[in-house]
Chains A and B, each alone.
Chain A
Amino acid sequence: MSLVRDIMTIAAVSAGAFFFLAGTVGLLRFPDTLTRLHALTKADNLGLGLIVVGLLPQAGSLRDGLKLVSIWLLVMLAGATVSQLIARNARQDETAK
């Protein structure tokens, strides 16, 4: 039983780490603000989401699991809001030019 859980964890956390890597490469390589934001959301939403999914089987109790899931939800909320604000600022700068 614990082997199945460990395999699930390894698979999901590895997939999450891959999305973090992809998001970071995108952040460094993409040409402008909007495409960079697009890359970042992959790390926030999918990357962190998969890592949380991967850690859930290791959570000691239901309480710990709920805490992990709420961290993911809060990061998504903050990430989405900040992305919108940055994107709006970037577009205003562009039209001002």
Chain B
Amino acid sequence: MSVATAFEIVLAAVVLGLGIWTTAVRETYSATVGFVAYGLLVALVWVRLDAVDVALTEAAIGGGLGGVLLLGAAARLRNTELVLTEAPGKATQVAAAVLAALTGAALAGAVLLLPDPAPTLAPTVVEHAWATGMTNPVTNVLMAFRAMDTMLEKVVLLLAIVGVWSLATDGAWGGHPGPRHRADPHGVLVFLARLLPPVGIVVGIYILWTGANHPGGAFQGGAILASMWLLTIMAGLTDTPPVSSRRWRLVLVAGPGLFLVVGLAGLWLGAAFLAYPPAQAKPLILGIEVAMILTIAVTLGLLIAGAPERSVK
């Protein structure tokens, strides 16, 4: 057994153990910490599977921003948790266990019954990489070959933010999401919030740019930009924008909007919906990605900031 195989077995065992622990542990806070660690280890699993693009997304969303979201939820639930002593009834527990076991068995069956070698479009994707002028197959699939899925995914993000905003009370509607954070202006948090964003912004843009030919892209870069924004918000250096602001709403629809315009232009120019003219494929895709990184950064930031809580007045 090679060192790499031993490492993979240990990694899989730890991921499984963490998964079980996260489900079994009683406090919401501990479960959240377990889930964040789980997300980071799953990212390592993706790296071992040579899916670096997925690993980056998993680390940024599953481990990072998702973790922040869950930590916020855990903090909100802390007060109710002390009161809540009654466990769900036996029947509910058994039903949940059976349902989870059946889902697990179905997933395991689906994976184990895959024909070997599995049906794959990967060679076709690699063969047609020239069509867009980009060599990262994941970006090619996301932005060109299956661009429809990606566009709809961005529309889903928009729907998610509308869902979060709709949780606002009538008085706070149109106001600033989340509490106004204050921190010691000479403290370490403010120091970090001044020092890190310039580096983080460069890294975020680099991840977008390098996504054409290497692992990376708008989503991973956008997640980094969002975390830099959230850092300055949490340090009290800036405030969340009011959700009634037209300019910010424009940024929220810029990504899917431009995607849709380019898609319709493809229809108008004769080929098909979302068909890029081969000569302009790369600049068009880059343009969409630039609009999209802004949309993704602002959407993720506002999703974590939460529902509007303070009215503009």
* A interface residues (Cβ-Cβ under 8 A, vs B): 74, 77-78, 80-81, 84-85
Contact = CB atoms under 8 A, between A and B. Distances in A.
Contacts of A84: 188
B111 interface: no
B161 to A, nearest CB: 28
Contacts of A74: 196, 199
B189 A85 contact: yes
Contacts of B199: 74
Per CB-CB distance, the 8 closest pairs between chain A and chain B, nearest first, are A84-B188, A81-B192, A81-B188, A85-B189, A85-B188, A81-B189, A77-B195, A77-B192
Nearest to A84: B188
Interface of B: 188-189, 191-192, 195-196, 199
A92 B140 CA distance: 52
A72 to B, nearest CB: 14
A25 B189 CA distance: 28
A53 to B, nearest CB: 21
15 contacts: A74-B196, A74-B199, A77-B192, A77-B195, A77-B196, A78-B192, A78-B196, A80-B188, A81-B188, A81-B189, A81-B191, A81-B192, A84-B188, A85-B188, A85-B189
Nearest to A83: B188
A21 B195 CA distance: 31
B13 to A, nearest CB: 17
B10 to A, nearest CB: 14
B237 to A, nearest CB: 15
Contacts of B195: 77
Contacts of B189: 81, 85
Contacts of B196: 74, 77-78
Given A81-B192, A85-B188, 13 more contacts: A74-B196, A74-B199, A77-B192, A77-B195, A77-B196, A78-B192, A78-B196, A80-B188, A81-B188, A81-B189, A81-B191, A84-B188, A85-B189
Task: Pick the most buried of A74, A81, A84: most chain B CB atoms within 10 A of its CB.
Answer: A81
Contacts of A81: 188-189, 191-192
B107 to A, nearest CB: 33
A11 B189 CA distance: 36
A64 to B, nearest CB: 13
A85 B187 CA distance: 9
A80 B196 CA distance: 13
Contacts of A85: 188-189
Contacts of B191: 81
A77 B200 CA distance: 13
Nearest to A74: B199
Nearest to B196: A77
A78 B199 CA distance: 13
B265 to A, nearest CB: 38
Contacts of A78: 192, 196
